[in-house]
Amino acid sequence: MASPNTPEVSTPLVHPEIEKVELKYLTIREYKQLRAIMEKAYAMLPDAAWSRGEIQQLIERFPEGQVAIHINGQLAGCALSIIVDYKKFNDNHTYEEITGKYTFDTHDPEGNILYGVDVFVAPQFRGLRLGRRMYDYRKELCEEWNLEGIMFGGRLPKYHEYADELTPKQYIDRVKSKDIHDPVLNFQFANDFVVKKIMKNYLEGDHESKEYAALLMWNNVLYSPPTRKVGVDKSVVRLGLVQWQMRPYKSIEELLEHAEYFVDAVAAYRSDFALFPEFFNAPLMADYNDLPEPEAIRKLAEFTEPLVKKFSEFSISYNINIITGSMPSVEDGQLFNVGYLCKRDGTVEKFYKLHVTPDEAKVWGMVGGTQLRAFDTDCGKIGILICYDVEFPELPRLLAEQDVDILFVPFLTDTQNGYSRVRHCAQARAIENECYVAIAGSVGNLPKVHNMDIQYAQSMVFTPCDFAFPSNGVKAEATPNTEMILVADVDLDLLKELHEHGSVHNLRDRRTDVYSLKLR
């Protein structure tokens, strides 16, 4: 039997090359790997690992509550939980009592609290915020099953160092005030858990905690008694748009530090997507301002690969799908404007700007790509078009025929009239294709970068214009020409309703007997 709820500690480690991260239900076939991880993670405790029979019991009783993180097909961590009728217990329970002497017969599908039995991450994968990803799953499970909240007894692994001078309450207060770093409590506080009570004799043999534990709770604000919504599919998708300000950077590391700040900010609101603007990395061209413009942009292209690799790491660490805006890329001697969809499962997909502007072709020698496709994500099908592409109605219509619900448009415009073209065309695309359209651009000035001197932007989320949506078709809008984030929820079920019962049917009423559109 292991110690409960010891999440990963964010210790900087050198991680193996990550190709794919997956969150799956745990199976008993993975027990051998699970046991090896637990013995390493809980080396300081007696009887560190759950037995095969105990894990089998958990999976059989509540398969949805047992999830595993896989990295490149290898088990990297687990989160185990049960549902309890908390009225049968009190705030002075022990770990043995809440788990029914480790039989888990206290699991009650009709209960009101999701109780965390254990969380652990393999030491070699710590620092990737995998613990937070599993806690996000627990929160979503709690919301879908309409449970009141999540509870568990959190260990105090560093309390033994302070037990002679501090009571457990004083210790926790010092952790809250950042005077003491406790890896468990710091993690839980960052995940919106609060201390409900301090429990004595919680886990027998936990000498580090002096057998004390903090009873921690996260309240489900969406809870509505007494109706349970079992198995409800997620239909509301949260979008995080980054209205990026152009500014000089001394290095790629400094730019990435700023980018991570925004990823962290939108992820903190549990956004499903983060959208960056077109050519957000242009400030890195400042060092090459002495070169002819076609050479300078190709020097900028040398940063694309390391930027994409880092953004993929961010998507995993912050559990969010990131659309990187766009960057220059040299392929077979030709210069393209490309972007990347870095999914939170670790996979990376590429998209091209098909219509380069006359300025991009004339000044940089850029050429348009030839690939147009929809992307499958954990939030449905999406499309991505770069700036000028949204001014060509054929492309969004072809994506709509592939059942795209959300169209993302990273853009960069220098003047207000250029912005107005993108803005009004994007809104038209939302109406005529009965989908959501999110646009994000850059603001500010870059006086030391040729052809990128000024920017004008107002990031927005557009909807179709019908009764279920805002009457002006604008779901959310940022302040013009101000660095900020814009977070907005879009309901995919409203689109389904619109397709069938809308006032008009722009997609369905097309006269395909008179005209047609074909992707070659």
* Gap between the Cα atoms of 344 and 321, Å rounded: 5
Name residue, tokens 């091209």.
Answer: 352
DSSP structure string for 185-233: HHHHHHTT-EEEEEESS-STT-TTTTT-EEEEEEE-TT--SS---TTPP
Burial 405-436 (b: 16+ CB within 10 A, else e): bbbbbbbbbbeeebbebbbebbbbbbbbbbbb
State whether the Cα torsion 58-75-129-301 is positive or negative.
Answer: negative
Two structure tokens written together for 295 = 């050479």
DSSP structure string for 296-324: HHHHHHTTHHHHHHHHHHHHHHTT-EEE-
Contact (CB, 8 A) for 2 and 120: yes
Instruction: Please pick, among 8, 278, 293, 483, the residue that the annotation labels catalytic.
Output: 278
485 forms beta bridges with 242
* Gap between the Cα atoms of 488 and 37, Å rounded: 39
Q: Which amino acid is located at 387 in the chain?
A: C
Residues 6+ apart with CB under 8 A from 161: none
DSSP 8-state assignment for residue 159: G
Instruction: Please pick, among 78, 379, 387, 425, the residue that the annotation labels catalytic.
Output: 387
Q: What backbone torsions phi and psi does residue 40 show, to the nearest 5 degrees?
A: -75, -45
Cβ atoms within 10 Å of 178's Cβ, excluding its own: 9
Pairing state between β 236-245 and 194-199 = unpaired
Does residue 353 have an active-site annotation? yes
Does residue 278 have an active-site annotation? yes
Contact (CB, 8 A) for 19 and 51: no
- Cα separation values, 197 from 91, 268, 274, Å: 7, 26, 37
Does residue 387 have an active-site annotation? yes
**Secondary structure of 19-61 in the HEC alphabet?**
CCEEEEECCHHHHHHHHHHHHHHCCCCCCCCCCHHHHHHHHHH
Contact (CB, 8 A) for 435 and 407: yes
DSSP structure string for 381-450: EEEE--GGGGGSTHHHHHHHTTT--EEEEE---SSHHHHHHHHHHHHHHHHHTTSEEEEE-EEEE-TTST
Instruction: Please pick, among 353, 379, 425, 435, the residue that the annotation labels catalytic.
Output: 353
Q: Could you tell me what percentage of the chain is helix, strand and coil, using 3-state DSSP and rounding each to the nearest 5?
A: 30, 25, 45
State whether the Cα torsion 14-17-22-28 is positive or negative.
Answer: negative
* Gap between the Cα atoms of 473 and 463, Å rounded: 5
Contact (CB, 8 A) for 106 and 84: yes
Cβ atoms within 10 Å of 476's Cβ, excluding its own: 18
- Active site amino acids: 278, 353, 387
